[in-house]
Amino acid sequence: MNKFLILLLTSMISTSLFASAFTDTYIVGSGSTYFMKSKEGADANVSIYTASKEGDSLSIEYFIESVNTFIPSKLWQQFTLEKSSAGPLKVTKGYIFKDGGDHPETMGPEHVKGKDGVKTTDFLFSTFEQINKHLKNKEKVSVPAGTIETSRYQITSNGQTIDFWIAENQSPLTLVKLISKGSIAAQNYELQLLTLVKNVAAKIDPSKAKPLSKEMTTLLEKSLK
């Protein structure tokens, strides 16, 4: 798995959202699958779905599958988001599971922090009210999942510009398409919605997680550089 993909997914965990009973919006097992095309040539299918929820705690699972490598690689990651008493969401736990592994591994706090640049879930786990200041246009777009009316938004931060298209009148917010451009290679990628998903069972069982192995630590360290 290339480092920029993990970087993106790590950065997709927003720590700056304010919402009361935000977990009500999310249905366990529901989410989306995207095709991700990168300038680095490591294309992948990326799925994001709700693994579980309890009170003000929400667990999101990612499934990343390379699609153009000779030996396909698969990776699952799960993050727990919790709403603190002050309001903002915090990523409290992170787990990772590599295809062929015996058990999930617990990620350290240093691996679940976001990175600089545009945090993708600043909109993915947001509301229309919170992102409306970035609205540019209303557009009808076609992606593999279908043709749909969307709103196009644009966010620029630290030399990275993200244009993203959100489906009209869908809750939670449904990202249909995203184009990221930036000065460094890892910031240049595109996402297109392949399909919405439902009734997906979580792959990672946190109760079976063991401490992070040396191999996985190296992989995560590389991804955060």
DSSP 126: S
Cα–Cα distance measured from residue 155 to residue 118, given in angstroms and rounded to the nearest whole number: 7
Tokens of 110: 């240093």
Angle 120-123-124 (CA atoms, 0-180°, nearest 5)? 75
Binding site for other proteins (CB under 8 A): 29, 33, 35, 45, 47, 49, 63, 65, 67, 72, 74, 76, 144-148, 167-170, 174, 176, 193-203
- For 185, half-sphere exposure in the C-beta direction (CA atoms, 13 angstrom radius) is 9
E-strand ranges in 5-113 read: 31-38, 44-54, 57-66, 74-83, 89-98, 105-106
Q: Tell me whether residue 7 or residue 176 sits nearer to other proteins (CB atom).
A: 176
Least distance in angstroms from the C-beta of 44 to other proteins: 9
CB nearer to other proteins: pick between 33 and 223: 33
Q: How far is the CB of 34 from other proteins (least distance, A)?
A: 9
Compare residues 161 and 170 and give the one whose CB is closer to other proteins: 170
Smallest distance from other proteins to CB 160, Å: 26
Are 117 and 182 a contacting pair, CB within 8 Å? Answer: yes
**CB of residue 35 vs other proteins: minimum separation in angstroms?**
7
Closest distance of CB 111 from other proteins, Å: 22
Whose Cβ is closer to other proteins: residue 95's or residue 117's?
Answer: 95
Distances (CA, A) of 205 to 30, 58, 125, 131, 145: 17, 14, 23, 33, 29
For other proteins, the closer of residues 142 and 158 by Cβ is 142
Count of other CB atoms within 10 angstroms of residue 2: 20
- Residue number, 65 or 190, with CB nearest to other proteins: 65
Residue 197 C-beta: closest distance to other proteins, Å = 5
Strand, coil or helix: 167: strand
Q: Is residue 60 a contact partner of residue 82, using CB atoms and an 8 Å limit? A: no
- Minimum separation from the CB atom of position 145 to other proteins (A): 5
Nearer Cβ to other proteins (27/184): 27
Q: Report the half-sphere exposure of 158 (CA within 13 A, side-chain side).
A: 7
